[in-house]
């Protein structure tokens, strides 16, 4: 019986590895699609890409950890942690997360909802909720990123907040081709394109778009005109 059961177990392991490889490839494809848009300052229905993220991360049924996780971190969900990625002390993750190569999370970071953090990102003492952050971007100090897409090589100054909720709880609308499009979402943040830099204590209003290469001065409230 022992010899009989070895083969099915090995087959199951191979199937799991193949599914995991396919899932990671699909996530990377999604990131490339978004990067093409953020590199060209393109407005798009970004909430649909957050929905695609949800669908993909729902397929993560078991952890894959090739990076390092500090023993004080708390993870309530499933994670894919790529080679060289680090989850530092007292970080809390609630929900499923894909953290790519050489990303640094924490200490004291809070990730909730489904989250994708691309390679070489730095998320410090910051809350990231249901968002996608592309490669080489940094939110190191006391920021909030909610229901948003952040492009490549973005740096958020300390205290930068991406708001995601109207006072009246109505759906967030987003400007595309000179038309306000109803996202159908009560909670939705912003698109921040590549190479954006913010000073300390910047607030970016829900449903906003920040073009590529924008520098936002400290203490600014950024909203669509």
Q: Which of 157, 170, 162 is nearest to 210 (CA)?
A: 162
Q: What is the pLDDT along the chain (225 residues), one digit of tens a residue?
A: 444 344 444 444 444 667 788 899 999 999 999 999 999 999 999 999 999 999 999 999 889 999 999 999 999 999 999 999 999 999 999 999 999 999 999 999 999 999 999 999 999 999 999 999 999 999 999 999 999 999 999 999 999 999 999 999 999 999 999 999 999 999 999 999 999 999 999 999 999 999 999 999 999 999 986
Residue tagged active-site, from 141, 166, 186, 197: 141
Number of neighbours of residue 104 by Cβ within 10 angstroms: 21
The reply to whether 141 belongs to the active site is: yes
Whether 186 contacts 172, CB under 8 Å: yes
Q: Determine the pLDDT at residue 66.
A: 94
pTM of the model: 0.92
CA pair distance 158, 200, nearest whole angstrom: 5
Domains detected in the chain: 2-222 (2.160.10.10)
Q: Determine the pLDDT at residue 20.
A: 80
């Amino acid at each position: 019986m022992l010899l009989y059961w070895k083969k099915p177990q090995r087959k199951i392991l191979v199937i799991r590895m193949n599914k995991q490889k396919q899932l990671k490839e699909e996530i990377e494809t999604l990131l490339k699609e978004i990067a093409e848009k953020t590199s060209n300052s393109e407005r798009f229905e970004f909430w649909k890409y957050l929905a695609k993220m949800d669908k993909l991360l729902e397929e993560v049924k078991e952890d894959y950890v090739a990076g390092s996780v500090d023993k004080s971190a708390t993870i309530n969900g499933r994670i894919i942690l790529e080679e060289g990625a680090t989850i530092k002390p007292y970080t809390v993750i609630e929900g499923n997360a894909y953290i790519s190569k050489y990303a640094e999370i924490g200490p004291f970071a809070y990730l909730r909802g489904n989250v994708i953090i691309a390679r070489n990102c730095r998320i410090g003492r910051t809350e990231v909720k249901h968002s996608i952050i592309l490669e080489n971007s940094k939110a190191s100090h006391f920021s909030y990123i909610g229901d948003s897409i952040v492009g490549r090589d973005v740096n958020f100054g300390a205290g930068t907040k991406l708001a995601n909720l109207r006072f009246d709880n109505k759906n967030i609308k987003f400007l595309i081709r000179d038309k306000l499009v109803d996202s159908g979402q009560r909670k939705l943040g912003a698109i921040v394109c590549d190479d954006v830099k913010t000073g300390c204590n910047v607030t970016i209003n829900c449903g906003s778009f920040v073009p590529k290469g924008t520098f936002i001065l400290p203490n600014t409230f950024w909203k669509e005109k």
